[in-house]
């Protein structure tokens, strides 16, 4: 990045824009438990293992990233009356406004449990996500007046299809910038075909293939995926595919390709996609151009996967900018 452009961006971040209200993340929060087996698994009996506990959920992870970047962000989600909810609250409340998170009876807070063998490969995964289905029209309707005056909405596809449709309609009616962050291929069915009220979609190749029921067999096929997304009406689209080049397109005709900086020692890829999306969202909040937004996303992801944490603990706006300048000093778009 040229010195003049870098200095201007530093000034922009130093101004601390009005992030005091109006930014909402809607979707899942969860507790993630990982069990590392100490010997080969023996079914139908007790197995020795070590365990770790961490917080997760796409919407929650993005909210924490933004909170660490000094954005005043609120989370809209549901939890149960249990210890997992208390743990999530303790780990999140320093960075996220949780006043809009509700607890309901009869459901457990979202929890994901993974059993890994001695090579780190998953042998069993158990996900209790039923509470997410209660984030329905009745739930979101409680926040209509609040959300209709939002500055920015970020939704993950853990929300039911009817809720996603409601948020898209709200964004269109009140001219609100909306980001949607998919969760997995199977949940792409929750996304409608008309996305004309969507400002940004950050999606990967697998999720795109699932949505359009097609298979990428060449670079040309990958490029055409972006065109298919534009036909849905979405304003800005980023399609990622891990360490391989990603593509960005928008309705104005811009088309950019970005090669993620290569990491020699990956510690944990958990949260990589959420940190990537968060960097882009942060750049958007600063009114930065798409190229810089995506570079912020790649920078955040690059450092997150070298951290043992789902959301890296050293993240600040100033550090993210400095790290981006180092990574992309000589980077050129393809």
Q: Tell me, yes or no, if the pTM score tops 0.75.
A: yes
> Is the residue at 138 inside a domain?
yes
For 161, the token pair is: 């299809």
Q: What is the dihedral of CA 211, 217, 219, 223, to 10 degrees?
A: -20
pLDDT confidence of residue 20: 41
pLDDT confidence of residue 18: 39
Count of domains for the chain = 1
Best CA proximity match to 239, nearest among 194, 208, 195: 208
pLDDT confidence of residue 89: 97
> Is the residue at 43 inside a domain?
no
> Is the residue at 108 inside a domain?
no
> Is the residue at 106 inside a domain?
no
> Is the residue at 94 inside a domain?
no
Q: What is the 3-state secondary structure (H, E, C) of the chain?
A: CCHHHHHHHHHHHHCCCCCCCCEEEECCCEEEEEEEECCCCCCCCCCCEEEEEEEECHHHHHHHHHHHCCCCCEEECEECCCHHHHHHHHHHCCCCECCCCEECCCCCCCEEEEEECCCCCEEEEEEECHHHHHCCHHHHHCCHHHHCCCCEEEEECCCCHHHHHHHHHHHHHHCCEEEEECCCCHHHHHCCCCCCCCCEEEEEHHHHHHHHCCCCCCHHHHHHHHHHHHHCCCCEEEEEECCEEEEEEECCCCEEEECCCCCCCCCCCCCHHHHHHHHHHHHHHCCCCHHHHHHHHHHHHHHHCCCCCCCCCCCCHHHHHHHHHHHCCCCCCC
pLDDT confidence of residue 112: 87
Contact assessment for residue 283 and residue 296, using Cβ atoms and an 8 Å cutoff? yes
pLDDT confidence of residue 182: 94
pLDDT confidence of residue 278: 98
Report the b/e string of 218-249 with b at 16+ CB within 10 A: eeeebeebbeebbebebbbbbbbbeeeebbbb
For 157, the token pair is: 């596809």
Q: What is the mean pLDDT of each run of 10 residues along the chain (334 residues)?
A: 53 44 93 92 95 93 97 97 97 97 97 87 89 97 96 97 98 98 94 97 96 95 96 98 93 94 78 93 96 96 86 94 87 42
For 264, the token pair is: 């020699």
> Is the residue at 114 inside a domain?
no
Q: How far apart are CA 65 and CA 101, in angstroms?
A: 18
Q: What is the CATH number of the domain that holds 191?
A: 3.40.1190.20
> Is the residue at 100 inside a domain?
no
> Is the residue at 83 inside a domain?
no
Phi, psi values for residue 134, rounded to 5°: -85, -5
pLDDT confidence of residue 6: 55
Q: How far apart are CA 13 and CA 7, in angstroms?
A: 10
pLDDT confidence of residue 8: 53
Which residue range is the domain that position 290 belongs to?
Answer: 3-28+58-78+131-327
């Amino acid at each position: 990045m040229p010195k003049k452009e870098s200095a201007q961006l530093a000034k922009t971040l130093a101004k601390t824009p009005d992030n005091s209200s109006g930014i909402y993340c809607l979707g899942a929060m969860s507790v993630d438990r990982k069990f590392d087996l100490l010997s080969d698994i023996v079914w139908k009996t007790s197995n020795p293992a070590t365990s770790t506990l961490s917080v997760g959920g796409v919407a929650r992870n993005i909210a924490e990233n933004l909170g660490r970047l000094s954005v005043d962000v609120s989370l809209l989600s549901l939890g149960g009356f249990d210890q997992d909810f208390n743990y999530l609250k303790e780990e999140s409340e320093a960075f996220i406004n949780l006043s809009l998170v509700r607890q309901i009876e009869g459901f457990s807070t979202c929890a994901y449990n993974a059993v890994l063998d001695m090579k780190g490969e998953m042998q069993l995964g158990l996900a209790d996500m039923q509470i997410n289905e209660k984030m329905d029209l009745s739930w979101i309707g409680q926040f209509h007046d609040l959300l209709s005056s939002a500055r920015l909405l970020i939704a993950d596809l853990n929300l039911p299809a009817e809720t996603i449709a409601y948020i898209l309609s709200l964004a269109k009616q009140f001219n609100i910038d909306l980001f949607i962050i998919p969760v997995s291929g199977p949940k792409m069915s929750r996304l409608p075909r008309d996305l004309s009220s969507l400002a940004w979609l950050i999606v990967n190749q697998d999720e795109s293939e699932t949505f359009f029921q097609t298979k990428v067999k060449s670079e040309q096929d990958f490029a055409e995926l972006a065109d298919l997304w534009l036909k849905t009406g979405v304003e800005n689209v980023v399609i990622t595919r891990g360490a391989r080049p990603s593509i960005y397109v928008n309705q104005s005709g811009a088309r950019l390709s970005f090669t993620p900086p290569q990491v020699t020692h990956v510690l944990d890829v958990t949260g990589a996609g959420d940190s990537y999306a968060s960097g882009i969202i942060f750049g958007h909040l600063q009114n930065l151009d798409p190229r810089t937004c995506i570079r912020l996303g790649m920078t955040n992801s690059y450092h997150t996967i070298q951290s043992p944490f789902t959301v890296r603990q050293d993240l600040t706006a100033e550090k993210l900018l400095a790290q981006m300048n180092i990574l992309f000093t000589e980077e050129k778009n393809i």
